[in-house]
Amino acid sequence: MPRINSPAELEEIRKELLSQRDPDKRTITLCSGSACHATGSRLVAESIEEEIKKQGLIDQVDIRKTGCHGFCERGPIIVIHPDEICYLQIKPEDVPEIISETIKENRIIERLLYTDPATEEEIIHEHEIPFYKNQQRLLFGANITIDPKSIEDYLAIGGYSALVKVLFEMNPEQVLEEIKKSNLRGRGGGGFPAGIKWEGSRNAPDDKKYVIVNADEGDPGAYMDRSLLEGNPHSVLEGLAIGAYTIGAEEGYIYVRQEYPLAVENIGIAIRQAEEYGFLGDNILGSGFNFKVIVHQGAGAFVCGESSALMTALEGRAGEPRPKYIRSNIKGLWEKPTVLNNVETWANVPLIINNGADWFTQYGTEKSKGTKIFSLVGKINNTGLVEVAMGMTLRDIIFKIGGGIPGGKEFKAVQTGGPSGGCLPGDSLDLKVGFDELTQAGSMMGSGGMIIMDEDTCMVDVARYFLNFLTDESCGKCVPCREGVKQMLKILTNITQGKGKEGDIELLEELAEVAREGALCALGQTAPNPFISTLKYFKDEYEAHIKEKKCPALYCKELIEYYIDPEKCRACMICLKQCPADAIIGEKKKIHIIDQEKCTKCNTCFEVCPSRFSAVKKISGEPVPPPISEEERIITRGSN
Partner 1 sequence: MSKILMIIDGKEVEANDDMTILEAAQSTGIVIPTLCHHEKLEPYGGCRICTVEVESNGRTKLVAACVYPAEHNLTVRTRSEKIDRIRKMVLQLLLSHAPDSEQLHDLAMEYGADKNRFEKEASFCIHCGLCVRYCNEIKKKDAVGFINRGARREISFIPEVASRECWNCKECFPLCPTAALQAAYVFTEALAASNPPFETESD
Contacts with partner 1, 291-310, as mask; x by CB under 8 A: ----------x-x-------
Q: Single out the residue of 519, 553, 576, 583 in contact with partner 1 (rule: CB under 8 A).
A: 519
Residue 331 in the binding site for partner 1 (CB under 8 A): no
CA dihedral 533, 539, 541, 547 (to 10 degrees): 140
Residue 236 in the binding site for partner 1 (CB under 8 A): no
Q: How far is the CB of 194 from partner 1 (least distance, A)?
A: 22
Q: Single out the residue of 11, 46, 366, 472 in contact with partner 1 (rule: CB under 8 A).
A: 472
For partner 1, give the closer residue by CB, 259 or 483: 483
For partner 1, give the closer residue by CB, 310 or 352: 310
- Cα dist from 486 to 483, 489, 495, 524, whole Å: 5, 5, 14, 11
Residue (of 378, 377, 455, 452) closest to 410 by Cα position:
455
CB atoms within 10 A of CB 104: 15
On whether the CB atoms of residues 413 and 537 are closer than 8 A, the answer is yes
Residue 37 in the binding site for partner 1 (CB under 8 A): no
For partner 1, give the closer residue by CB, 134 or 468: 468
For partner 1, give the closer residue by CB, 2 or 325: 325
Q: Site for partner 1 (CB under 8 A): how many residues?
A: 31
Residue 539 in the binding site for partner 1 (CB under 8 A): no
Angle at 50 between CA 44 and CA 53, to 5 degrees: 140
Residue 41 CA, distance from chain mean position: 20
Which residues sit opposite 450 in a β-bridge?
A: 376, 416
Residue 173 in the binding site for partner 1 (CB under 8 A): no
Residue 509 in the binding site for partner 1 (CB under 8 A): no
Q: Single out the residue of 27, 518, 558, 617 in contact with partner 1 (rule: CB under 8 A).
A: 518
**C-beta contacts of 579-586 below 8 A and 24+ residues apart:** 579/604, 579/605, 580/604, 586/633
For partner 1, give the closer residue by CB, 318 or 634: 318
Q: How far is the CB of 322 from partner 1 (least distance, A)?
A: 8
Phi, psi of 564 (to 5 degrees): -100, 120
For partner 1, give the closer residue by CB, 15 or 490: 490
Contact partners, residue 163, CB within 8 Å, separation at least 6: 238, 241, 242, 245, 279, 284, 285, 350
Residue 483 in the binding site for partner 1 (CB under 8 A): yes
Q: Which stretch binds partner 1 (CB under 8 A): 17-25, 447-455, 476-484, 529-537?
A: 476-484
Residue 323 in the binding site for partner 1 (CB under 8 A): yes
Residue 496 CA, distance from chain mean position: 28
Q: Single out the residue of 38, 58, 109, 326 in contact with partner 1 (rule: CB under 8 A).
A: 326
Q: Single out the residue of 36, 460, 492, 514 in contact with partner 1 (rule: CB under 8 A).
A: 514
Residue 473 in the binding site for partner 1 (CB under 8 A): yes
Q: Is 200 helix (H, G, I), strand (E, B) or coil?
A: helix
Question: In angstroms, rounded to a whole number, what is the distance separating the alpha carbons of residues 637 and 639?
Answer: 6
Phi, psi of 584 (to 5 degrees): -105, 125
Binding stretches for partner 1 (CB under 8 A): 301, 303, 318, 322-323, 325-326, 471-480, 482-484, 486-487, 490, 510-511, 513-514, 517-520
